[in-house]
Amino acid sequence: MQGCAYVNGQFAPPEEAKISVFDWGFLHSDATYDVAHVWQGRFFRLDAHLDRFFASCDALRLNPGHSRDEIRQIMHECVRRAGLRDAYVEVLCTRGQPAPGSRDPRSCTNTFMAFAIPFIWIADPDKQKRGVDLIVGSPHRIPGSSVDPRIKNYHWLDFVKGLYEAYERGGETVVLLDGQGHVTEGPGFNVFGVFDAGGGAKRLVTAASGVLEGVSRRTVIELARAAGFEVQLRPWTVAELRAADEVFLSSTGGGVIAIARLDGRAIGGRPAGTFGPVTQQLQNAYWALHEDPRYTEPV
Ligand code: PLP
Assess if residue 296 is contained within a domain: no
H helices of 94-156, in order, are: 125-130
β-pairing, 132-140 vs 255-262, is parallel
pLDDT at 299 over 90: yes
Assess if residue 278 is contained within a domain: yes
Same domain, 200 and 87: no
Q: Is the pTM of this model over 0.85?
A: yes
Q: Does the C-beta of 188 come closer than 6 Å to ligand 1?
A: yes
Other C-beta atoms closer than 10 Å to the C-beta of 138 total 12
Same domain, 142 and 268: yes
CATH number of the domain bearing residue 31: 3.30.470.10
Same domain, 225 and 113: no
Q: Which of 157, 189, 257 to mutate to test the pocket of ligand 1 (most atoms within 8 A of CB)?
A: 189
Range of the domain at 224: 125-291
In the chain, the percentage of residues whose pLDDT exceeds 70 is 100
The C-alpha atoms of residue 83 and residue 255 are separated, in whole angstroms, by 23
The C-alpha atoms of residue 163 and residue 208 are separated, in whole angstroms, by 23
Assess if residue 187 is contained within a domain: yes
The C-alpha atoms of residue 157 and residue 159 are separated, in whole angstroms, by 5
Query: How many domains, the chain?
Result: 2
> In terms of C-beta density within 10 A (0-12 exposed, 13-18 middle, 19 or more buried), how is residue 154 classed?
middle
Q: Which of 85, 118, 151 is the last residue in one of the domains? A: 118
Assess if residue 241 is contained within a domain: yes
pLDDT at 273 over 80: no
189: CA distance to ligand 1 center in Å? 4
- What residue's CA is closest to ligand 1, atom 16? 252
Same domain, 101 and 132: no
Give residue-wise pLDDT tens across range 140-189: 999 999 999 999 999 999 999 999 999 999 999 999 999 999 999 999 99
CB distance 182 to 235 below 8 Å: yes
For 299, how many CA atoms within 13 A lie in the half-sphere containing its CB? 25
Assess if residue 234 is contained within a domain: yes
φ, ψ of residue 111 in degrees (nearest 5): -120, 150
Q: Which of 55, 85, 118 is the last residue in one of the domains? A: 118
The C-alpha atoms of residue 260 and residue 128 are separated, in whole angstroms, by 9
Which among 288, 227, 275, 223 has a CA at the least distance from the CA of 248? 275
* 35-60 core/surface letters (b: 16 or more CB in 10 A; e: else): bbbbbeebbbbbebbbebbbbbbeeb
Give residue-wise pLDDT tens across range 217-270: 999 999 999 999 999 999 999 999 999 999 999 999 999 999 999 999 999 988
Assess if residue 143 is contained within a domain: yes
Same domain, 142 and 90: no
Question: Per-residue confidence at 274, pLDDT binned at 50, 70, 90?
Answer: confident
Same domain, 102 and 49: yes
Q: Does the C-beta of 252 come closer than 6 Å to ligand 1?
A: yes
**How large is the average pLDDT for residues 98-102?**
95
Q: Which of 152, 175, 221, 257 to mutate to test the pocket of ligand 1 (most atoms within 8 A of CB)?
A: 152
Assess if residue 67 is contained within a domain: yes
Q: Does the C-beta of 214 come closer than 6 Å to ligand 1?
A: yes
What pLDDT is recorded for position 270?
87
Total number of residues shown for the chain: 299
Give residue-wise pLDDT tens across range 15-69: 999 999 999 999 999 999 999 999 999 999 999 999 999 999 999 999 999 999 9
Assess if residue 141 is contained within a domain: yes
pLDDT at 90 over 90: yes
Same domain, 100 and 60: yes
Report the phi/psi class of residue 93: left, alpha or beta, with left for phi > 0 and alpha for psi in -120 to 50: beta
pLDDT at 131 over 90: yes
Question: Per-residue confidence at 272, pLDDT binned at 50, 70, 90?
Answer: confident
Cα angle value 255/160/19 (rounded, 5°):
90
Give residue-wise pLDDT tens across range 184-215: 999 999 999 999 999 989 999 999 999 999 99
Same domain, 197 and 174: yes
Same domain, 100 and 138: no
Q: Does the C-beta of 251 come closer than 6 Å to ligand 1?
A: yes
CATH number of the domain bearing residue 232: 3.20.10.10
Same domain, 136 and 25: no
CB distance 263 to 170 below 8 Å: no
CB distance 120 to 88 below 8 Å: yes
What pLDDT is recorded for position 233?
98
CB distance 2 to 66 below 8 Å: no
Residues with Cβ within 8 Å of residue 215, at least 6 apart in sequence: 36, 45, 48, 49, 52, 252
Question: Per-residue confidence at 284, pLDDT binned at 50, 70, 90?
Answer: very high
- What residue's CA is closest to ligand 1, atom 1? 189
* 75-85 core/surface letters (b: 16 or more CB in 10 A; e: else): bbbbbebbebe
Same domain, 93 and 144: no
Same domain, 227 and 141: yes
Q: Which of 68, 91, 118 is the last residue in one of the domains? A: 118
The C-alpha atoms of residue 260 and residue 288 are separated, in whole angstroms, by 23
Q: Does the C-beta of 184 come closer than 6 Å to ligand 1?
A: no
Q: Does the C-beta of 172 come closer than 6 Å to ligand 1?
A: no
